[in-house]
Each structure stands twice: as structure tokens, then as C-alpha cells.
Amino acid sequence: MRRTIGLVISVIAGGVIAAGTAQAAGNPEAGAKVFTRCKACHTAEPGKNRIGPSLYGVVGRMSGTEPGFNYSPAMKNAHIVWTPENLNKYLTNPKAVVPGNKMAFPGVKDPKEREDVISYLETLGGKH
């Protein structure tokens, strides 16, 4: 009986610690599925730019700075650090947040899907 209680307590404590260190509330596995919409233009691999810049390490990166990608002047001059908050705003309405940027994508309207895709992006070696 004592052992069972100890186990239950450590499971609860583990859950609290995990929740405390999680970077975003989203679900990265679900986010990987949302990311299939981005894959027409973006890769998740370092240095591989396509129609859009590689999104490897995008979380924490300054906008318009992926080497070798030919950004629009609008994105080059946006000076936005891609924090989860700023990604959330941009992905809600890309054209409104960076007017004149050339991402031909209307955004992700569902807040939960945005949260998920951002938490997926966080798994790609960000904050460097």
C-alpha cells in the first residue's frame, strides 16, 4: 500500500515537472501532420531551402536570415524574432503580419492546429 502511494505521488510529480518544462502547449505529433501543408514549400532539414526557406531551427531565429534563401524585401526588413508568440501571429494571417511578404499561403486558421505546428517546429533544433 505504501509503495502504491509513493508511485502515485511520483507519477503526479513527474507530470507536473513535464508540464512545467514544456515549451508550448501544442502536440508535436499532431503538428507534424499540420506541417504536411507547409511541405509544398518548406523542408524541416537544415540548409534545404525550396520555394520557402528551411524551417529547421526557425524557432528563435530572426526573420529573413536563413542563408542562401532569396527573401522578399518585406521579410528581410521585418525584423521579427520567430518566438512561438510571433509565429502564432504570423501563421494566423501571414499577409497582415508581414505585408508584402511572398509566402503564398493563407495561414492556419485553427488555433489548436497552429499551437501544434509551432510545437512541432520547436522540435527542429530551434533557439540557436
What is the binding site for ligand HEC (CB under 6 A)?
A: 37-38, 40-42, 51-53, 55, 58, 63-64, 66, 71-72, 74-75, 82, 87, 91, 101-105, 108, 117
CB of 90 within 8 A of CB of 80?
A: yes
Q: How far is the CB of 26 from ligand HEC (least distance, A)?
A: 12
CA-to-CA distance for 49 and 22, rounded, in angstroms? 29
Q: How far is the CB of 22 from ligand HEC (least distance, A)?
A: 19
Which residue, 60 or 102, is less far from ligand HEC as judged by CB? 102
CA-to-CA distance for 128 and 115, rounded, in angstroms? 21
Site of grid cell 500500500: 1
